[in-house]
Each structure stands twice: as C-alpha cells, then as structure tokens.
Amino acid sequence: MNTEIDTARSPVTVDVVSPNSKTGIGFCPNEILCEIFELYQAEYLIDARDGVADAFGWWAILHVCSGWRRVIIDNPAFWQEIWATWSPKIVELYETRSRNQPLRILRFRKSKYRYDIEGDITARLLATNISRIHTAHIEWTTDDHTHYWESLSQFMERAVGDALFPQLTQLRLVSSPSHGSVVRLKRLNAPILKSLMLNRVILNPTVFPSLAHVTTLQSEESELVAADVIDLLGACPRLESCNIRFEHNEELYDDLPVLRPDLDALSPGDLRPRVRVPLSAMQNLALDGLHWTCMAKVLNHFDIPRTSKIKLVPLFIIPDDKSWDALSAVVAPRISLYDSIKVSTPTRRVTLYNSSNSGSLSFESEYQ
C-alpha cells in the first residue's frame, strides 16, 4: 500500500499559530487603544463633574510608555473638552492639542478649579473658538463675596453678543443669581442648535430664530406664564422632547387676579383656537408647576400627536370653578385618543393611555 502523499497533485497548506504570538494590550492597534483610553478618560471626567475625582486623573496613561503617550498626544479627541475654570496654562494646552476639531466648553459654578471667577477665560474661549464650539455648558453665579454683579445675560453680551456660533448644537445655561431673580437672554445666534437646557434663564423673542432646529428643550425654575410657553414652543417646530419646570413661589399667588392674569377664566379662543400649531415631532412633553388654567391654554394651542407622552404636574391651589373647567379643558380634547386608564395611589396620578401605541396623558390631582 502506497502511503506517500503526492504533494504535487494535492497541495496542502497548513497555518501554524506560533505559541509565542503576542496579543496583549501593548500590541493593540492604535485605534483600539484610543477606544480604551477614551472610555477611561470619560469615567474620570464624569466623576470630576460630580466633584469626586480629579479631571486630570486620566493623565496617568501618559506615563505608562512613550507609545501610549504618543497615541494620546497625537489624537485631538482627548483634548476637545475644556473647562474654563482650569489653570490658564492647561486651557491653552488643550486648545493647542485639540487642533481644529470641535470643542466642548464647560464652566461649572461649583468646580474645585477656581481660575475663572469673573468669566474672562470663558469669554476668551467663546470668542476665540466660536467657529468650532460644538457644546457649551455655562453655569454663572453672581458673587456676594467678590461683589461681582454681572448677570449671565450681561456676560453673554460681553463675550459674544450676536456673533455666529456656526457649529453649536448643544447649549446649557445655568444662572444662580444671589437674590434669586431669573435672567433673560437677549441674543443668541446659533442656527443649527439642537439641544437647549436652561435653568433660571428665559429667552427674549429675538433668540427664537435660533430654535428652528431644536429637538430637545429643558427649562427649570422658570417664571413663565402661558403666553411665554406658547411662544417658546411655537419657535421649536422640530421639538421632540420638552420638559418645563416652573418656579414654585407661593408668594406669587397671594393676589391671583393682579399678579397672575393668566389665571383668568378660559375664553372660547383658548379652548377652540381657530388654528392649532402643529408639533408633529413631539414624543415627550412634561409641564411641572403650572396652574391648570395655564396648562389648558398651552395644550389647546398646539396639535400634539396621539403617540406623544404628556406628563402634567399642576401647581395645586384651592380648587375653584376655574380649576375644574381647566382640568376638563385639558382632558376632554384628548380623551378619545386613549382606551385605558390607570390610577396610582398615594400619588393620585391618573394615566390615560392607548394599548396600541405609545401615547399617554398623565396628571396628578388633589381632587377626589
């Protein structure tokens, strides 16, 4: 029996894996190393924002070996987030290493890094890099101790005025004035803005043209009335998610007819507007702290899709005939959209929903 293999007629190729192949992290491609390092950096920055870590703790990677150091220094992605409260030398280092890539500019009022008390570094960063700022997060406090009384609105006027932010898509503005007043932002030129978050900040109508592409809107501790909310939502035709929480100040309601004329009885025009403004992209709408009468005016002004999730937390005032009428005005126009109801205790939350789609209307009520 011939047991020889005729390799000329039947070539066989065998791939032999060497037992000495090196596959540890030190031999990962640079692309994989960057992904690992970005996750490591992100964890430090998240904890640093909460005040429980050093924003530069991730720099330890730079000292592991020259190869890793080169990967990080040569990649602008690691240098795109700049805190204005850092040391000016570090800020300039990040500006240089980020090259011409998009920037995230952040200023935290409770940051452990205190190099920007009067906002000069923030103002310079905004003005110098305005063409490549993708995200801006600015927390502003008027300081009793330094007697620095410039408001957030005044700061924005000083820093950028009406200058164009061509790449800005995410903006968060937080105002913490010493005496609790809400500031009004006069100007903002950000034509592709998509996400806007405000805390104790309200907008002048002159800002509304920059809201045409906004899909996410959050406003906290505002002092808006129904007409303000209607104008604000009407300026955001592409809005998908909206969460507005109003300032709870009982003193405002001591003399309702004088201080809050928006609490007057609903007119036929409020309940049955001739043309409802469509918010066809709306998926989630939450209104917290507005009187039932005001909520009815807002909801009946817009055409909101049946698949939207609407959550209402009214400001509780002693029930009267206007409150009952307003509650009916909120629920009645949409009740035919739902086929089920759920009542939760002890919160007294009522949820109307449709078993065939995601739409729902939930509200809290003290009425029994």
Distance CA 255, CA 223 (A): 16
Residue bearing the bigger pLDDT, 118 or 190:
190
Q: What element of type H or E holds 47?
A: helix 30-49
Which position has the token pair 């063409």? 131
Distance CA 80, CA 293 (A): 46
Pairing of β 349-353 and β 340-344: antiparallel
Token code pair at residue 77: 């992605």
State the pTM of this model: 0.83
Amino acid at 150: E
In this predicted structure, the answer to whether residue 334 has a pLDDT above a threshold of 70 is yes
Which position has the token pair 């105002």? 175
Per-domain boundaries in the chain: 27-79, 81-336
Residues paired with residue 286 on neighbouring β-strands, in sequence order: 243, 311
Query: Cis peptide leading into 257, omega within 30 of 0?
Result: no
Neighbours of 302 (CB within 10 A): 18
pLDDT digits (tens, 9 = 90+) for 40-65: 999 999 888 877 788 899 999 999 99
pLDDT digits (tens, 9 = 90+) for 188-238: 999 999 999 999 999 999 999 999 999 999 999 877 888 899 999 999 999
The two most distant CA atoms of the chain are separated, in Å, by 113
Per-residue pLDDT band at 112 (split at 50, 70, 90):
confident
pLDDT digits (tens, 9 = 90+) for 264-288: 556 655 556 567 899 999 999 999 9
- Contact yes or no for 366/327 (Cβ under 8 A): no
Cα dihedral 112, 114, 116, 117, rounded to 10, equals 110
Identify the pLDDT of residue 180.
61
Token code pair at residue 288: 């917290």
Per-residue pLDDT band at 125 (split at 50, 70, 90):
very high
Residue from 126, 108, 104 nearest 195 by CA: 104
